[in-house]
A and B are shown apart, each in its own frame.
Chain A
Amino acid sequence: MPSLRRTRQPQPVIAGVGSTDAGDPDVRRRLYADPGLPDRVFRAVLRSGGGLVLAVMLLVGGFLLYRAWLALDKAGWSFLTTADWEPGSGKFGIAAVIVGTILIATVAVFVAVPLATGAALYISEYASPRLRRTLISVVDLMAAVPSVVYGLWGVFFLQDKVLPIARWISAYFGWIPVFDVQGADPNDPLAPESIYTSSTFIAGLVVGMMIAPIICSIMREVFSQAPAGEREGAYALGATRWGMIRSVVLPFGRGGMIGGTMLGLGRALGETIAVFMIISVTFQVQWHILQSGTSSVSSLIALRYGEAGEFSMSALMAAGFSLFVMTLIVNFAASSIVARSRSGATSDA
C-alpha cells in the first residue's frame, strides 16, 4: 500500500486520512499520496507513448507543409486558380482537381444520404430485433469492404448500366448547365456512348455506395438513442409511427445526421483508388458531371507520384496538403456538430 506523505508536486488525492501534523487546526491540510516508483514509471511510459504518437502526427502534417512550401511559394495565389498540371514549366494549380473532387463528393453525398437515412430508419425503427442485429452486422461489414472491390464493381458492372440513365438525364435535363454534355446529340440513337463513360457521375455513384454504410451506421446509432419515454409519449398522443419518427427521432438525431453526412463527405473527398479506376483524368475544370473526363486530387497524386524531380514532388505535396486541409475542416465540423447535438453520440471513424 502506498504510504501517505506530503510532497510538493500536485498529485491527485487518492485517499485522505488525517496526518500527524495537528499543531495548527486552521490551516487547510494538503493530503497527497505518493504514487510510488512503479506508477511514476507507468505514467512516464504513457506520456512518452502519447508524445510519440503526437510527434508522428505532427511530423506528417509539418512535413507535408514544409515540402509543399517550395511549390506554394513559387506558384502563389495562382495555385488556386490554374487548372493545368505542368510543374516542369511552372504552370500548375488545383483548380481542376479541386472542382472534380468536390463534384464527385457532392454526387456521392446526394446518392448516399437518402439511402443511408432510409436504411438507418429501417434498421432502428422498423426491423424486428432479430433482423436488426443481422442488418447492423451487414452494414458494419460493408463499411469495411475494400475500396478496390467497389471500384471493380463500378468499372465492370455499374458503368454499362448507368450509361442509358446518364444519356436520358442529359437529353431531358441538358438545359441545366451541370447536366449538359458537350458534343452529344440526343436525337441520334446510334451516337457512341463513350462520351458518357468515366464521368463524375459514375465515380460519384460508386463513392456514394462506399460511404453509404458509414453514414448509415452513424445515423442508426443516433436514431436508436432517441429516448423511449419520448417515443411512447408521441404514441400516447396518437401519433402514427411516421408521426413519431418525424416529431421525436429525426429532431433528436439531427446532429448525428449532419455529422454522419459530413464524415461520409470527408471519406468521399479522400477516396482514391475507386475514383482512379473509373475516371479518365483531364486537367481542365469540368463542370459537366455526365461528361467523360474529370479529375480529383487523390487520383492526381496516384497518377503523377512517379515523376522524378524535387519540384514536381513538392507540387504534389501541395495538392495533397490542400486535400488534407479540406478533409480536416470537414471532419472537425462534423465531430463538433455531432458532439453538440443532443444525442452526443460518438462518431466512429
Chain B
Amino acid sequence: MTVAPEAPGARQATGRPGTTLPGPSRGAGPAGERRRALTQLHATDVYAMVGAATAALSITWLLFHWLLPFNGAVGFVVIAYGLFLLMYALLVSFDEDGPAIVDRIAAAIVRSMGLLLVVILAFVVCYALIQGRKALVHLNFFTQSMELAGPLQPLSVGGALHAAAGTLIMITIALLITVPAGLVCAVFLNEVPGAYARFVRTIVEAMTALPSVVAGLFIYATVILGLGLDQSGLAAGLALSVMMLPIIIRAADVVIRLVPGTLREASYAMGTSRWRTVWHVVLPTCRSGLTTAVILGTARGIGETSPVLLTAGFTNELNLNPFHDPMVSLPLVTFEFVKSPEPNMISRGFGTAALLMALVLLLFVAARILGGRGPGHLTRRQEHRRVLASRRDARRFAERVPGPAAAPAPAEAPAPVSAPHSTVRTENGSSS
C-alpha cells in the first residue's frame, strides 16, 4: 500500500559502507507488481463496430422516417443503440463463439457507459459556461455590484462583484477556522492513537454525513437566533466551517496515514522527540497531500449554497464587512437570480454560475499541480536537490569521523541513513 521513499535504484556511497543515497526511482508500481496493458483490438473488431453502427443508424432512420410513426431524438438514440448492440453481436458471431460474443458486447456497453458519463458531466459544465457567456462578455459584470441594476436593466449594467467578494470573504473565514483545527485534529488522530482518538475519528466520520442544510440550520439557530447576530458573512463562514471541518479532517487523516512508518521509526531511532518528528518528517512528507486535501475541501465549501442561504441573508450591494449586514456568495446569487422570470436575470445567473465553475476549476487545477503525488514521491527537481543534500551530508560525515573521538554526540556515528534528508540535517544540526 505505502511505498518507501528509498528508491530501488539507490546507489551506495563510495568509500564508507552503509550510507544509502537516494537515487532516481525505477518506477515500480505501488503494490510491487504491475498490471500489464493488454490490448485486444483487431482489425476485424473495428470493421464489425463500424459496420454495426452504420447498419443500426440506417435501420433506425428507416424506421423513424418511413415505416413507423415515431419521432423524438431520445427515442432515436435509444433504438439506434439497441440495434447497434444486436448488429454487433450478429457480426461478431460470424467468426467468434459464445464467450467472445459476450465479451465484445460487454466491452461495448462498458465503453459507452464510460463515454456517456464523461459526456454528460462535461456537458453540465460547458452548459453553464456557454449560457453564461452573454453576461460574461460585459466587463462591468466583474467590476460592479447589483446595487444600481434592476431585473429589467440590460446586461451592460450591474455585475457580480459583490458576490465574488462575498465568496472570498466567507471562504477565508471558513479556512481560517478549519485549516488549523482540521490539521491539528488529523495529526492528533494519527499521532496519539488510543480509545479517545478512535472515538473522535468515529464522531468525525459521523459528521461527514451532516447534510449541509442542517449545518446551516444549526448556525442559524445558535448564532443568529441564539446569540442575536445579524445574518452576515461571519455566520455564513461559520456554517461553511461546520460543513467543511469533517471533510478536511477525513481527507487529511487519510493522507497522514499514508506516511510510511519506516520514516517515523527512522526519526525516532535517531532520538528525535515526537513533535520534531511530526514537524520535520511527517508533515513535510505529506505536504502535497495535505495541500490537496485543503484545496478540495475549499472547492466543496465554495460551491455550497444551502448553508449560505440560511445564514448570509441577501443583498444587492457590495459589503466587505463580514460582521454586519447581509453578504452574498456566488452560488447564492446564482440561485436567487435564476428564480427571476426576466431573461437578463437568468443570464446573470448563468454568468455567476460560470464564474463559480471557473473558480472551482482553478482550485482543482491548483490541487493537481501542487499535489496529486503520494507521500515520498518527489518531482525531479526535489529529487535532485535531495540527492545533492545527501551527498553533502555523506561528505560531511566522512570528514568528521577521523576527528576528535571524544565528542559524545550521536551524530558522529554515521549510521545507515535512509530517512529523508531533512531529518538527518535537522537532527545533526540540533544535537551537535
Interface residues of A (CB under 8 A from B): 1-2, 14-15, 35-36, 38-39, 41-43, 45-47, 49-54, 56-58, 60-61, 63-64, 67, 114-119, 121-123, 125-129, 135, 137-142, 144-153, 155-157, 161, 164-165, 168, 209, 212-213, 216, 227-229, 231-232, 235, 240-243, 245, 266, 269-273, 276-277, 298, 301-302, 305, 313, 316-317, 320-321, 323-324, 327-328, 330-332, 335, 346, 348-349
Our pick among A42, A146, A349 for the contact of B360 (Cβ within 8 Å) is A146
Closest-by-CB residue of A relative to B352 is A148
Asked if B211 and A229 make an inter-chain contact with CB atoms under 8 angstroms apart, the answer reads no
* Count of interface residues, chain B, beta-carbon cutoff 8 Å: 111
Check A331/B187 contact, CB under 8 A, given A14-B268, A126-B111, A148-B353.
no
B residues in contact with A148, CB < 8 Å: 303, 305, 331, 334-335, 353, 356
A residues in contact with B124, CB < 8 Å: 142, 145, 149-150, 153, 209
Asked if B118 and A273 make an inter-chain contact with CB atoms under 8 angstroms apart, the answer reads no
Our pick among A46, A145, A212, A245 for the contact of B117 (Cβ within 8 Å) is A212
Shortest beta-carbon distance from B195 to chain A in Å: 12
Q: Which 8 A-B pairs have the closest CB atoms?
A: A118-B113, A146-B303, A122-B114, A270-B211, A49-B184, A42-B275, A240-B103, A50-B188
Asked if A47 and B188 make an inter-chain contact with CB atoms under 8 angstroms apart, the answer reads yes
Asked if B305 and A241 make an inter-chain contact with CB atoms under 8 angstroms apart, the answer reads no
Interface residues of B (CB under 8 A from A): 31, 33-40, 72, 74-75, 99-100, 102-103, 106-107, 109-118, 120-125, 127-128, 131, 181-182, 184-185, 187-189, 191-192, 196-197, 199-200, 203-218, 220-222, 225, 242, 245-247, 249-251, 254, 268, 271, 273-275, 278, 296, 299-300, 302-306, 309-310, 331, 334-335, 338, 346, 349-350, 353, 356-357, 360-361, 363-364, 368, 410, 431
Asked if B102 and A240 make an inter-chain contact with CB atoms under 8 angstroms apart, the answer reads yes
Asked if B357 and A149 make an inter-chain contact with CB atoms under 8 angstroms apart, the answer reads yes
Closest-by-CB residue of B relative to A320 is B214
A residues in contact with B363, CB < 8 Å: 144
Asked if A324 and B353 make an inter-chain contact with CB atoms under 8 angstroms apart, the answer reads no
Shortest beta-carbon distance from A264 to chain B in Å: 13
Q: How far is the CA of A231 from the CA of B214 in the complex (A)?
A: 45
Q: How far is the CA of A61 from the CA of B99 in the complex (A)?
A: 54
Asked if B184 and A45 make an inter-chain contact with CB atoms under 8 angstroms apart, the answer reads yes
Asked if B217 and A228 make an inter-chain contact with CB atoms under 8 angstroms apart, the answer reads no
Our pick among B205, B212, B242 for the contact of A331 (Cβ within 8 Å) is B205
Asked if A146 and B304 make an inter-chain contact with CB atoms under 8 angstroms apart, the answer reads yes
Asked if B273 and A164 make an inter-chain contact with CB atoms under 8 angstroms apart, the answer reads no
A-B contact pairs, 9 of them (CB 8 A): A1-B410, A39-B274, A63-B221, A126-B107, A142-B121, A146-B353, A147-B304, A151-B335, A157-B127
Asked if B309 and A273 make an inter-chain contact with CB atoms under 8 angstroms apart, the answer reads yes
Shortest beta-carbon distance from A34 to chain B in Å: 10
Check A119/B117 contact, CB under 8 A, given A49-B185, A63-B218.
yes
Q: How far is the CA of A156 from the CA of B334 in the complex (A)?
A: 13
A residues in contact with B207, CB < 8 Å: 57, 60-61
Shortest beta-carbon distance from A157 to chain B in Å: 6
Asked if B334 and A152 make an inter-chain contact with CB atoms under 8 angstroms apart, the answer reads yes
A residues in contact with B356, CB < 8 Å: 146, 148-149
Q: How far is the CA of A283 from the CA of B112 in the complex (A)?
A: 40
B residues in contact with A323, CB < 8 Å: 211, 214
Check A152/B353 contact, CB under 8 A, given A53-B249, A273-B309.
yes
Our pick among A123, A156, A320 for the contact of B211 (Cβ within 8 Å) is A320
Asked if A242 and B107 make an inter-chain contact with CB atoms under 8 angstroms apart, the answer reads yes
Shortest beta-carbon distance from B368 to chain A in Å: 6
A residues in contact with B217, CB < 8 Å: 64, 301, 305, 316-317, 320
A residues in contact with B212, CB < 8 Å: 270, 272
Closest-by-CB residue of A relative to B251 is A348
Q: How far is the CA of A135 from the CA of B115 in the complex (A)?
A: 10
Asked if A298 and B306 make an inter-chain contact with CB atoms under 8 angstroms apart, the answer reads yes
Our pick among A47, A118, A242 for the contact of B102 (Cβ within 8 Å) is A242
Residue of A47, A116, A229 ringed by the most chain B CB atoms within 10 A: A47
Q: How far is the CA of A168 from the CA of B72 in the complex (A)?
A: 11
Asked if A144 and B306 make an inter-chain contact with CB atoms under 8 angstroms apart, the answer reads no
A residues in contact with B349, CB < 8 Å: 152
Closest-by-CB residue of B relative to A50 is B188
Asked if B247 and A349 make an inter-chain contact with CB atoms under 8 angstroms apart, the answer reads yes
Q: How far is the CA of A151 from the CA of B353 in the complex (A)?
A: 10
Q: How far is the CA of A146 from the CA of B112 in the complex (A)?
A: 26
B residues in contact with A123, CB < 8 Å: 114
Residue of A39, A53, A137, A320 ringed by the most chain B CB atoms within 10 A: A53
Check A161/B74 contact, CB under 8 A, given A64-B218, A213-B121.
yes
